[in-house]
């Protein structure tokens, strides 16, 4: 597959890479290669002894990654949920930093054939990795109404989830879903009101995409793996684009940054309490007004940073 020509503006490029506090001879992981913006900047900061391993499910991202001929760079065609196993196969036991740029890339949204967007009438696919798994159409044409309603409500935070699910089941009884346009049209009949400027199908498309790609589940599974792999002083830099992702990241970092909580009257010195394994670095970082002006999709981005301590896991 050839690399695509769709333009991708890497969000919080400098901020996310600076957050890694890169050591020139270090080993780093870009969990979401995308079109390589973060990876290329990381490589520019590494010495000849440094190493970067990147992951991506998307075949178009893999095609783009093959244009990087740097011997310090390795691309892995897997989702980041395989982080620990994939690094073990590469002989990597510890790393100095992990970067995650979550969500869907601009090329995925702007390429109508991928089925991520209601702006194009295209095959209803939505898989980030088109070589495996069930398409959105296959799931919507076979799932029970209750399951569809739960997915749309939980992952899309759609208040009309039950109505959307009922409309989907009614429509597919006479004609199975094939395209994104068909789904958007049916959802529009079930969503009575929507925020100004937002398409009625926005939340449903988000929910189905998250479910099909197991995005939140895989995020919850990879964060502990990253913590286990980080060396002391190693950094975790994560960009989230919606509240469900950010909530998982925030809670993970906060929980890992808490030391042992013992009763206040227990006769234990502070030095005897084990240090927490993670330390949150600074406040969450958001895109500047200038970046948002150049790339409106940066508006919802939020970067959280944490550092591995010497505390036990």
- Check whether 154 is labelled as a binding-site residue: no
d(CA 119, CA 207): 16
Q: Does 120 belong to an annotated binding site?
A: no
Compute the half-sphere exposure of residue 311: CA atoms within 13 Å on the CB side of its CA: 19
Distance CA 47, CA 119 (A): 44
25 is annotated as contributing to ligand binding: no
* DSSP line for 65-132: HTT---TTEEEE-S-GGGHHHHHHHTT---EEEEEEE-S--HHHHH-GGG---TTS--B----SSTTS
Tell me how far apart the alpha carbons of residues 299 and 189 are, in angstroms, rounded to a whole number: 29
DSSP state of 143: S
282 assigned to a ligand binding site: no
Is 101 labeled as ligand-binding?
yes
Which helix (H) or strand (E) covers residue 147, if one does? helix 145-156
Q: Is 56 annotated as a binding residue?
A: yes
What is the residue whose two structure tokens read 């696919």? 125
Q: Are 235 and 97 in contact (CB under 8 A)?
A: yes
133 in a known ligand binding site: no
Secondary structure (3-state) at 212:
helix
- What is the spatial distance between Cα 172 and Cα 145, in angstroms, rounded to a whole number? 11
Nearest to 97 by CA among 223, 229, 219: 229
**Rounded-to-integer distance, Cα 157 and Cα 145, Å:** 17
- In this structure, the chain runs to a length of 313
Could you list the residues known to form a binding site, using ranges: 36-38, 56, 80, 101, 108
Could you list the residues known to form a binding site for S-adenosyl-L-methionine, using ranges: 36-38, 56, 80, 101, 108
């Amino acid at each position: 597959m050839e690399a695509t020509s769709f333009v991708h503006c890497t969000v919080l490029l400098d901020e996310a890479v600076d957050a890694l506090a890169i050591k020139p001879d270090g080993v780093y992981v870009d969990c979401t290669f995308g079109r390589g913006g973060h990876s290329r900047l990381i490589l520019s900061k590494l010495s000849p002894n440094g190493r970067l391993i990147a992951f991506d499910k998307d075949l178009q991202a893999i095609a783009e990654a093959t244009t990087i001929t740097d011997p310090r760079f390795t691309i892995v065609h897997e989702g980041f949920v395989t982080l620990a196993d994939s690094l073990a196969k590469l002989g990597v036991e510890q790393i100095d930093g992990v970067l995650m740029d979550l969500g869907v890339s601009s090329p995925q949204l702007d390429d109508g054939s991928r089925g991520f967007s209601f702006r194009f009438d295209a095959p209803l696919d939505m898989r980030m990795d088109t070589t495996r798994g069930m398409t959105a159409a296959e799931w919507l044409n076979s799932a029970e109404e209750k399951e569809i309603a739960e997915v749309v409500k939980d992952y899309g935070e759609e208040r009309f989830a039950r109505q959307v699910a009922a409309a989907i089941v009614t429509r597919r009884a006479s004609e199975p879903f094939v395209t994104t346009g068909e789904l958007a049209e049916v959802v529009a009949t079930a969503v009575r009101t929507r925020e100004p400027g937002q398409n009625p199908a926005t939340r449903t498309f988000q929910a189905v995409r998250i479910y099909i790609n197991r995005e939140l589940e895989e995020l919850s599974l990879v964060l502990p793996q990253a913590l286990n792999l980080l060396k002391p002083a190693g950094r975790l830099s994560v960009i989230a684009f919606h509240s469900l992702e950010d909530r998982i990241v925030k809670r993970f970092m906060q929980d890992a940054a808490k030391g042992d909580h013992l009763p206040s009257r227990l006769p234990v010195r502070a030095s005897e309490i084990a240090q927490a394994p993670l330390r949150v670095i600074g406040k969450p970082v958001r895109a500047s007004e200038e970046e948002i002006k150049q790339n409106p999709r940066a508006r919802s981005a939020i970067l959280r940073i944490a550092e591995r301590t010497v505390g036990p896991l």
